[in-house]
Amino acid sequence: MLNLIKMNMYRLLKSKNFIALIVMIVLAFAITTVQVLLVTGMASIETATIDGDGNVVYETTETETEEVAPEFTVMDLFTGFGNEIGALFVSIFAIVYCENERKNGFVKNLSVAKKEKPLVFAAKLAPVVTFTVLLQLCIFLGTWFATLTFKGIPFGDVVSALKFTGIETVLITAFGMFSMALYELFRKNVPAIIFGTFTAIGLTGQIVALIQMGLNKLGILSDSFCEKFILSEYFLSTRIGALSVSDLSGGKVSSIVIGAIGLALYIVAGMTLYGKKDVV
């Protein structure tokens, strides 16, 4: 098992596409942060001009908005980006990682006994966790670098941001394993990416909510059941989308439990699918 983890990590860290993706994510979130600061009127731009005597003069231009902009911190901006974006990044990464694994012959040349085949899938948890953590780091770096170009933006509450990031990492890692299990179900990247994308942005949860509402209207599900159990709230994608720093105290425990159960469930499901199907 340890050797399988080492091989997966070697493949991940040596991949040129992976390094390019990390750089792209940092730049993307840096640009997005700058746009957010300019649109909200939180930031001011300092420009340098040269007067008639040849002296450099710095002028600060304030962005104008109709309303008074809220006070942001670096941590607010970092935790304020849509969690669904992180889930979407990890989902696509997980599916493409599994697809490349087969295309480059890694799985075909891997000699393992039949009873050890499920462990090959379980070892993929390591690159998913690594990518999820690095994704969070890239979002932070992109946000922080962007705020350095403006003045007067405080750093913010690091402890709350770390708690938020920890819970989000558990949920998104579980979603990444769900995406890998999804790929093993279809064994094709296109349907897996389509279904994974729909789930990441919350469409699957909305469909389930509509189905539950319809069953309630038909009398199949009682009003008391629907009030106590909103099925879509137990979805990983729903929890990821609803998670925020402001409600950590109320939703922290339930989100961790759902993330842990989802992680275990999808690892077992993926191992089962991987063990029953051919490796090529």
Reading the block at residue 194, the tokens are 């389509």
Summary mean pLDDT of the chain: 80
Q: What pLDDT is stored for residue 131 in this prediction?
A: 92
Q: What pLDDT is stored for residue 250 in this prediction?
A: 46
Q: What pLDDT is stored for residue 246 in this prediction?
A: 67
> Which whole number is the average pLDDT over 9-33?
79
Instruction: Spell out the long-range contacts of 237-240 with Cβ–Cβ below 8 A and sequence spacing 24 or more.
Output: 237/84, 237/87, 237/175, 237/199, 237/200, 237/201, 237/202, 237/204, 237/205, 238/202, 238/205, 239/171, 240/83, 240/84, 240/86, 240/87, 240/168, 240/171, 240/172, 240/175, 240/200
Indicate the pLDDT class of residue 278, thresholds 50, 70 and 90: low
158-215 pLDDT, tens digit per residue, is 888 888 899 999 999 999 999 999 999 988 889 999 999 999 888 888 888 899 899 9
Indicate the pLDDT class of residue 67, thresholds 50, 70 and 90: very low
Q: What pLDDT is stored for residue 53 in this prediction?
A: 57
Query: Is it the case that residue 69 has pLDDT exceeding 50?
Result: no
Q: What pLDDT is stored for residue 187 in this prediction?
A: 85
Query: Is it the case that residue 16 has pLDDT exceeding 80?
Result: no
112-139 pLDDT, tens digit per residue, is 667 778 888 899 999 999 999 998 998 8
Q: What pLDDT is stored for residue 50 in this prediction?
A: 52
pTM: 0.81
Q: What pLDDT is stored for residue 40 in this prediction?
A: 65
Question: Domain coordinates of the chain in residue numbers?
Answer: 2-42+70-276
